[in-house]
Structure 1
């Protein structure tokens, strides 16, 4: 009943669902050729595919490239179905139509337990929920790159669009030659017949635009020639030779530069300003006040001839900052309040079966508390945006994961229609969820409004970036389980507490969808309520708080800390049962064959139980997130009491592996990202101000600390699932479990090196 209430509330927040609308079929995502840009010599065949005069293919690209390889994997799908070389596919930024929205990301936000949502066996309420939210998502068309969903969302869409275009092209040749279409074959973009006739795509594209495709069928996997191969990434050459354009690379005639200073106290405000000294600095030209925009803290910006002039001018301004009316935030106090919430408050029950409280009265009770701190994103490319406001029009260049949300806030700040905003999405120098926010876009547009039509590039300093992030929430959890005399887990109770991300994010970027109430947010309990282990009696609940710290999506979101809690605790239970960590998990996974296969693969490839150099131990963890199952084995030693990770063996079942090389890259990057967090990551807040400010006190893993990473992919015929994030969650518990194997001491609080 709770889940049904959540579903209806979420739908109501987006607008009333009427019966007539609800029974209509879901909107097609193929789209018409009118949605693509009109360019000389290029013929659009639907909303995704154009054919150029030389026979090359232009693919509409609605997803942002931030290093995850999506600008290679998605073109591979189009090239496969069109039978063209991957090198002949070019990308064009997709427009604003709803067909480019991310349906899978919204459907995945439903808090259904895997047992309820099993493929082909979902309950009526689960099926109805997925249908309604999927239909709503198609209507809303929210274009976002997040939730490791790009390939999963567009797997069918792009293949169908390309197959449809191919059918029309072949059909056009068939009509011209008066030969049956089934006698024609295509290779490398050339249509051929056994009689010797041949024609390139570019030569029949115009005729194909008016040729119905007839029956369309995507290729069977046994026909694939590209999907499943480790092809070189299309974005690498331009990144190597400098042609690639990130947000910081935007340069326009007459461009000015801006630097911000925001109130050091989160949620604070600007008092008296003495700007004379700052504006008298060489190259400093203008002061622009910035209210709290897009969830940011208030402050000001200085505009100058170069970024250096703007930064020096901003730093020289004397300002009186005011604390927020409710008083300064303190992360130590927040942690204590979260612990109290776990002890005293009832939360939303995400999953329950059996009587966990009753089962605890029998057998051996094991209880543990786990803690995770606030974390910043610290993307390598600092926050930036370029904007121009002139003659009632706005033009924006930004590295963003949400171009349409960014376009929307640009329009609201400038007071124009979204039709009057032109938006250019650049490459992203790291996203990790930080660029799901639109605060920097709002600030850049506000600054540009004061600059007489000149384009302005706003660049945050690293200090502003770390001190004014939307942080991964702090979270506290109490885990309790009972074990019988045979070492069997008979009950599991988990209560966690921490801020909910999704309602805060919607308030900032999608105010039309946010309501006066919060619905249960799956991200708070993911990785706790949806465990694969066969424990008959469970109660998993979360107390959603609102502590005042700006929180946002951080790579792998709730899984990033909840996996540390759950997989460390599973190891604790194995120890209490006096059973090895792998054997203990195997017993719990008897009814979860996919998870068991991943666990066994990681154990095999890591030589689990084999000899290790003196002073090293292994730890293992298994976790499912974003549709993919990942097991990691970490080989760890201690150097002056701090963990040193030497080797990580990673096994993954992500469904169909579109590009195994990119999957391996993502696992390697995820391990390094997770290693930084588990060793060093912590944001401390005192009197409202974040204490960390740059890489000297918010360090990242350096080359010398990087472990070797091996990736093993489970062969699968299932549709592809997420890859960009699932490699992050298992590492912290794997390392913590290795430390226990070394020392006999449990480390239940992140970061582990603290």
Structure 2
């Protein structure tokens, strides 16, 4: 059976005309496209909008194929539980294969076969998810095909109506036209007939024919967000709604003990108090339900409760950091850990020592836990009535949220309806469903009234699923003439994917952890030509709740690798740019990006006294980014003046949105590099709010330049790839400026 299944072609992603829920006055042409009476096109949108601009970009794909004004493409909710909308690209990208093994001319049979199989499995599973900078890459083919198929059906309907050859018709501005006869009809007039017409030959528009894509276009969400009309999860309001505020046990993994319930219920506006056990990885706590969120929060803050600690003992981030550093060193010394990439014999090169003028270099790097710190705190609105559950949530995983809600409420999945709202910052935090499970549990206690569960900012900071802490021991061997002969990196840190799957996809989580690509991405997949390499990771488990954080493993692994490459360049007496280019002779794409950034930044040209440059190059999510930072000191602290970014993200569909994502990534990356850390003492997170872990201020924000490389590749990710190079480029600039080599994040200069 398995052999027979694997031999079948992958499931298609076009869907049927009846896939989308029926609505009067709307005609479905396939699983993605409906046509309204007035000729507007409705596009099924399973992907979350969290500021990255995908709703605008994906609507533009459809508008381009159907020759329609973008304002006439409206979004509609997809059919619940439909596997058609599963994200294939994000699962395919989870394979731990070196990017080079998928490049034309260097591709391997194993890598290609693995990708094919994962894509096939992904189409069967149909996991709806927005993450991994995968949305445009995932939708690129099915949405264009869906729109082009709809166009072919509309042309076919016109051909049958007027009994004229289909190839004599064309679409223009939402009309099907026949130039010779003057016959024309709008999409709305032809839709019912088109739904019964086979598509026949379907041709996608070639890029030279594009009128919209590749050119600056206004974002569809700008007016609503500018006027305050946009509705995020936290803006949800329902008739007769209650509000609940969450208070977790202060210690991670702890639980509430005795609580003075009577005192809480006497507080103004308070309706109920609900004890909540751990759900989907959360720490146990108490929800206070009241007439308003203000009343609920005041009561929660005034709560007289005793709190129990973690049964297995309190967590301590300093002890964890020391353990990770020792684990990485032990792995390097014993040459163990899971080898994600091996080439030649890096261990033998290191053991050979400094013979023949060779030079060995070793450095230990570390990164702390990090919180997501989204602007919109965690929230979810739920109503439970008559064995049915209705949810309004800002989520990146709507089907997982529905499944958890069904389990918590004890109802069949088809009784759960979820409305996906705009998201006020995701960064991976809303790949989790803990808050949804909590909200459903609270709503089960409110007698059918809808309730909005809200986490205060302090709960958000202290009970996050954090970016894992990590450590790496890096070793390099330079030949007598300064060429890099060997590079080994042994890292240590908790694996995200097994923990995430266990709490969010328990039906797929296995009893044994498999090697997790996120632990070593940004280390095993470097583009540099080094004859002897070993990139290995030791997966640890320290019980701090961890999750996906913007750019995931790349976020800290790029700091480890690119800062160490600079150390090697310095030891070789080479210019950091020239040293990297010497290792990229067979990687023209990376070399072009690096050279563009250096050229635009004026690399090698003199700077005023007290200013220095640093650079970094990194590939993640299929996109190559190079950055040059110009840095000075202000009151003995780093101050970034200018960031020059060169980006190759394949075909650029919306250049303004790409630039916006690069700019937001730079600000996000600088915030983490300068200020980001989560310290756990006695089991409790010490950073409670933004004063404890500030964001980069407007005054501190540098000039950011984005330079896009022209490419014919299919589009790749852009929401995250500009984050990883920021920290190493800053560290490298600070070394050039001060002579201090900083190997731990956040970057703090010695007094």
Alignment partner of 1:675 is 2:670: yes
Retained in 2: the 8 A contact 1:371–1:477?
yes
Q: How does 1:3-152 map to 2 (within 5 A)?
A: 18-95=2-79, 96-119=81-104, 121-152=106-137
Residue 688 (structure 2) aligns with: 693
Q: Bigger shift: 115-124 or 66-75?
A: 115-124
Retained in 1: the 8 A contact 2:325–2:366?
no
Residue 3 (structure 1) aligns with: none
User: What is the distance in 2 between the residues matched to 1:486 and 1:296?
Assistant: 55
Alignment partner of 1:490 is 2:480: no
Alignment partner of 1:524 is 2:509: no
Retained in 1: the 8 A contact 2:742–2:748?
no
Residue 648 (structure 2) aligns with: 653
Match of 1:603 among 595, 598, 601: 598
User: What is the distance in 1 between the residues matched to 2:141 and 2:708?
Assistant: 22
User: What is the distance in 1 between the residues matched to 2:104 and 2:512?
Assistant: 32
User: What is the distance in 2 between the residues matched to 1:445 and 1:708?
Assistant: 45
Root mean square deviation of aligned Cα: 1.0
User: What is the distance in 2 between the residues matched to 1:322 and 1:66?
Assistant: 36
User: What is the distance in 2 between the residues matched to 1:730 and 1:315?
Assistant: 40
Retained in 1: the 8 A contact 2:154–2:190?
yes
Alignment partner of 1:481 is 2:476: yes
Retained in 2: the 8 A contact 1:278–1:312?
no
Question: Could you tell me the TM-score, scaled by structure 2's length?
Answer: 0.97
Residue 398 (structure 1) aligns with: 393
- Three-state SS of the structure 2 residue aligned to 1:252 is coil
Post-superposition offset of 1:753: 3.3
Alignment partner of 1:208 is 2:194: yes
Residue 661 (structure 2) aligns with: 666
Residue 315 (structure 2) aligns with: 329
Retained in 2: the 8 A contact 1:407–1:423?
yes
Retained in 2: the 8 A contact 1:350–1:529?
yes
Residue 270 (structure 2) aligns with: 284
Alignment partner of 1:415 is 2:410: yes
Match of 1:342 among 322, 328, 333: 328
Q: Bigger shift: 270-279 or 83-92?
A: 270-279
Retained in 2: the 8 A contact 1:151–1:720?
yes
- Three-state SS of the structure 2 residue aligned to 1:597 is helix
User: What is the distance in 1 between the residues matched to 2:624 and 2:77?
Assistant: 32
**Offset from partner CA, 1:383-427 (integer Å, 9 cap, x none):** 000001110000000000000001110111001111110000000
Change (3 A) 1:92 1:323: same
Q: How does 1:175-574 map to 2 (within 5 A)?
A: 175-194=160-179, 195-345=181-331, 346-360=336-350, 361=352, 362=355, 363-574=358-569
Gap regions ≥5 residues in structure 1: 1-16
User: What is the distance in 2 between the residues matched to 1:176 and 1:150?
Assistant: 38
Residue 146 (structure 2) aligns with: 161
Retained in 2: the 8 A contact 1:276–1:317?
no
User: What is the distance in 2 between the residues matched to 1:221 and 1:239?
Assistant: 31
**Offset from partner CA, 1:251-288 (integer Å, 9 cap, x none):** 00010000011011101112111122222111011000
Retained in 2: the 8 A contact 1:259–1:314?
yes
User: What is the distance in 1 between the residues matched to 2:634 and 2:540?
Assistant: 38
User: What is the distance in 2 between the residues matched to 1:351 and 1:608?
Assistant: 32
Q: Bigger shift: 666-675 or 110-119?
A: 110-119
- Three-state SS of the structure 1 residue aligned to 2:627 is strand
Post-superposition offset of 1:121: 4.6
Runs of 4+ residues over 6 Å off in structure 1: none
- Three-state SS of the structure 1 residue aligned to 2:615 is strand
User: What is the distance in 2 between the residues matched to 1:557 and 1:120?
Assistant: 29
**Offset from partner CA, 1:37-73 (integer Å, 9 cap, x none):** 2222111100000111111110000100000000101
User: What is the distance in 1 between the residues matched to 2:77 and 2:641?
Assistant: 41
Retained in 1: the 8 A contact 2:264–2:273?
no
User: What is the distance in 1 between the residues matched to 2:178 and 2:193?
Assistant: 18
User: What is the distance in 2 between the residues matched to 1:226 and 1:146?
Assistant: 25
User: What is the distance in 2 between the residues matched to 1:336 and 1:493?
Assistant: 21
Gap regions ≥5 residues in structure 2: none
**Offset from partner CA, 1:200-256 (integer Å, 9 cap, x none):** 111101110001110111111111111101101001111112221100110000100
Q: Bigger shift: 271-280 or 505-514?
A: 271-280
Question: Could you tell me the TM-score, scaled by structure 1's length?
Answer: 0.97
User: What is the distance in 2 between the residues matched to 1:174 and 1:514?
Assistant: 52
User: What is the distance in 1 between the residues matched to 2:680 and 2:28?
Assistant: 53
Post-superposition offset of 1:590: 0.5
User: What is the distance in 1 between the residues matched to 2:393 and 2:449?
Assistant: 16
User: What is the distance in 1 between the residues matched to 2:187 and 2:275?
Assistant: 55
Post-superposition offset of 1:343: 2.4
Post-superposition offset of 1:329: 0.3
Match of 1:616 among 584, 607, 611: 611
- Three-state SS of the structure 2 residue aligned to 1:191 is strand
Post-superposition offset of 1:120: 6.3
Post-superposition offset of 1:179: 0.9
User: What is the distance in 2 between the residues matched to 1:426 and 1:473?
Assistant: 28
User: What is the distance in 2 between the residues matched to 1:752 and 1:614?
Assistant: 22
User: What is the distance in 1 between the residues matched to 2:237 and 2:315?
Assistant: 39
- Three-state SS of the structure 1 residue aligned to 2:295 is helix
User: What is the distance in 1 between the residues matched to 2:606 and 2:102?
Assistant: 41
Retained in 2: the 8 A contact 1:388–1:456?
yes
